Structure formats: C-alpha cells, structure tokens
Chains A and B, each alone.
Chain A
C-alpha cells in the first residue's frame, strides 16, 4: 500500500482538490505505484465522492485535531504552500510536493516554496503543472530537512531582556 496525502491546511484550495482527482493526475499516481489517496480539504467547497477515483482508494475529510498520523502513514505528501503544512511534512521527513495557489493575494507563499526547492527539500508546482510534475518528478533527489532552532531565539531574548 502506497499512500498519497493531500493537505490544504486551514485554507480552501478547490483547484488543487479538483486537479489532483482529475483523470490525468490519478493516472500519473497509479503509474507511480500509489494505491491510496487521502484528501484533507479544509474549508474548500469541493468535497469529492470517495467513489470517483477508479484505481485509487479515496478518503476525504475536512479537518482533524492533528494530521500527524496521516503524515506518518503517507509515502508522498502533496500540500498547499502554507508554512505549517510544509514544516509538518518536512519535519516527518516525507517527500513533499507543494502546489502553490496562484490565486492568493501577492502570493507570498511562493517565496518559501522556491527557497526550499532551491535547497532540495521539496518540489513545487502549480495546479496547471501538477499532472506533468507527477509524471516527471524525481523524489530521490530530495535532501533531508533540518528543523529550525527556536532555542537560538529563546537564548537571544533571555539575554536581551535581562533574564540571564
């Protein structure tokens, strides 16, 4: 069983949900050996019927208190470019494909996706290039992501405000 977990965080990203369940993308996923597709659709208005993807077992939900179990069980994560979702996926050391939502105001999320791709931690694309990316991507080129260090912040602040 090889699972793909799609997450849009706390947002709505109907385009991604529609695109990833399209025939082209489903075929690309099946060709790569994936058998299960789990969709976390957030606030979106598109909630696919579990029967629509022939060849893949489809599960759909809006929110959970924690998606860490879904992330843990996934072999590939397809996520919107929100920092929280990306950091959770990268923190679990799972291959991550980020789909940037080009309908957002000023689209600042693209900056993080570009930087993390430049550092070889993830691959990013848009909805229009998703099916092609799923066919062409080479996940073996991804490198391990080292988590950030909030203790550096804490140490600095402690000194700055006179706690140490």
Chain B
C-alpha cells in the first residue's frame, strides 16, 4: 500500500517537473519561431472593452493582408466591440481580398472594479473556455493589449506549446494609457510573452525586456 502511494507520488512529481521544464523550454525559444516563413499567419486578437478595442483595431489596421484568418475573441458582456470590429473588417474588405475573420465570445475574466478575490474564480472560468477555443483555432499568434480577457487566452496559447500541439507566439502591446506602471495583465504576461511592447519611455526603463518603438496607436 505504502509502495503504491510512493510510486504514485513519484509519478506526479515527475509529471509536474516535466510540465514546468516544458514551460521554460517553450518560452525560451519564441524568437526562433517564425510562422511567417510558411505563408499566411493566423492571429487570435483579444478585444477588451472600450478603448482596448479602439487601440487593437488601430494596430490591426497596420497589419498586412498576410495576417489571416483573424479570430477576434470578445468577453461575453462586451456589447460595443463587436460592432467596431465588424465595421473595421467591412472597411478592410474594400481594399483587401474577402474578409477572413471570425468572432468568438468567452466569459469575462474580470469586470471593472470587481474585487481581486472573485476575479480569480471568474478568470478560471474564462480559462476553461479558452482552452478548447485555442485547441480549435490553433492560431500562429495571439495579439492582445491588456484587458483581463487576455490572460486566460494567452495561458491557453502557452499550454498548446507546452503540450507540443502548436507553438503559439504571444504578442502583448501594453495600452497607451500605461505610462509609468504596467496593467495587471502586463505585469503577469511580461514574463510569458514572446514580444512585449510598451509605448512610453518610463516603462521601457523599468522593464528592460520590453520593446519600445514610440507611441503605436
């Protein structure tokens, strides 16, 4: 009996260790991974509420038609972003080829002013929805700019890489609102993103791994 427990513990410890090592290995090789070399690059775009969506649409507007298909993921309680995205894609269709985009909804990780403790539960619920979504879409890149919605989606993207299913590049562009301090999502994803952009000099000084190219939106 004791032997069985011992063996089981050994297996669990080994699995956890392998999992953690896989996370390190996966995260370390982001810059070597170049999905663009094989052709079009599919993007999962995280749309947060209000200004987050405005900012991400400005970034998307600069990307070439080779970023397709584009999968937009919104929080289920976000009413305004869907219209903005549809308007953007309709406008784009006039100049580029037929729009290849999809829209998806997941439970919101955290409402504005929601307490931190209840946010953990709602974020877990968002994670549970994010994992099957990422497994289904398998994007080359996840692009986000800081709303709470992005953490579970990025976590699911990283999980795909850790499990050897697909290496998903995490591209995080901190919102232009953030001049001196990072958002909570930014503070978490700074250690996990493959490309982490900030838009003001004070943040570039505080976070050396961040990429600074001036104001982007």
Contacts and interface: CB of A to CB of B under 8 A. Distances in A.
Interface of A: 9-11, 63, 65, 81-85, 87-88, 104-105, 108-109, 111-112, 114-115, 147-154, 156-158, 160-164
A148 B66 CA distance: 22
Contact of B217 (A11, A63, A87, A104): A87
Contacts of A108: 177-178, 181, 183
B34 interface: yes
Nearest to B81: A10
A10 B62 CA distance: 25
B54 A84 contact: yes
Contacts of B175: 83
B15 interface: no
A81 B177 CA distance: 9
Contacts of B61: 150
Contact of A162 (B35, B51, B58, B83): B35
Nearest to B32: A162
B62 A163 contact: no
Contacts of B87: 65
Q: Which among A9, A84, A105, A115 has the greatest number of chain B C-beta atoms within 10 A?
A: A84
A108 B182 CA distance: 9
Contact of B62 (A9, A65, A154): A154
